[in-house]
Structure 1
Amino acid sequence: MVFKRRDRRPIWKVAVDFIYPKGGWGRAFEYVKHRVRRLPDTPEKIGRGVWAGVFAAFTPFYGLHFVVAALLAKVMRGNILAALMGTFFGNPLTYIPIGVAALSTGHWLLGTTFDGSIIGGNDTSCRIGCQFSMAFADLWRNLIAMFTGETADWSGLAGFYAEVFYPYLVGGIIPGIVCATVSYYLCVPLVSAYQNRRRKKLREKLDKLKNKSLPENG
């Protein structure tokens, strides 16, 4: 295939590049910003797409952020590609702060407190990343149990839903709206200025070509 990598990366290299991409996260963010500015759409539609992507990063649907962002962008009539790029607001550097903010806000709104002992572990980092991985593992074991003689146990997932997933879902709404709205108002003038500058350069090039062709026609 034309776009297939010639040098196949080992799994550990893929994992390292995901946590810390080649060139650093600063370069990765610059690349995303560059791609967003060059999208062929109006600044408002691109901004709405970015809004959808950033908001999706605050939802607990890990592994489905692209889908959530695309659906939101579709409803909001935003640019879907911008929405997909906006999901990069959620990355290994921001997942923990986003999770802490969402869980804290969610439990506060629901009038509950987080009890890490219910689903294992009292460490702050384990309360987020480890518990999501444990929940996915429990879900996979229960799905396998449907086709084997093993007994399915949904108690762990029930605790995960009550302690993590639902508070995360509720609590992510407010910080998600705030960050997405800030991103929108930063994105629209940035894209608008870039598009105006690009159109100006194109007009200048066309004028130069026109001026060069006038003496020849005369």
Structure 2
Amino acid sequence: MSEGRILVVDDEPQIQRFLKPALTAAGYQPIEALTAADAERLVATAAPDLVILDLGLPDKDGKDVIRSLRSWSKLPIVVLSARDREIEKIEALDLGADDYVEKPFGIGELLARIRTALRRRDAGSLAASRFEADGLSIDFARRIVLRQGEPVHLTPKEYDLLSHMARHVGLVMTHRQLLNSVWGPAHVEDVHYLRVFIGQLRTKIERDPAQPALIRTEPGVGYRFAQ
């Protein structure tokens, strides 16, 4: 039984040749697109469950594809690109990509990112009433946080930040996304402010705040709440 249809948007033949059997072996049905125009057409006509998107396409920048798709679709998008500059990652994620994997890449990592994006799509960002991982428990309905069964006392903003990340578990959240969602658009440049709150949260919820297992730093980009 197919785990879903994956649209691979990349004009490099070797990438297409590599990903097709790898995705098929993992239970997915791969669909090929070599250009931005093909990608936008196939999203509308082939109903894929997720898009793997290269940023360096021959007819349009991949970020423009993200912008176009996000104007009408919530389809999960995982960027797969050789562009390793932090600004490229941040722009793609801020435009609405769900994750970013750099070339060269390991197929295991890519498949894990695909599974995470599909699980979040299926669950819905607000559907779960509870989160549990690594001894941490969050009851979203009652706004209760426990660590190894003991209550964790958080300020309102600490709780808002923690719950927002937990609802997007496994996905990269940029500094700007977190600041905008928790503090509002007037604070999207207050990265130092965010780092202070992340440090406070780590002290309260991590087994070892010096080696965080839950709130992972994505250098220069933002944070990922681990599963």
Q: Structures share a fold, TM > 0.5? A: no
Relative to its length, the structure with more strand (as a share) is 2
Higher relative contact order (CA 8 A, sep 6+): 1
Relative to its length, the structure with more helix (as a share) is 1
TM-score by length of 2: 0.30
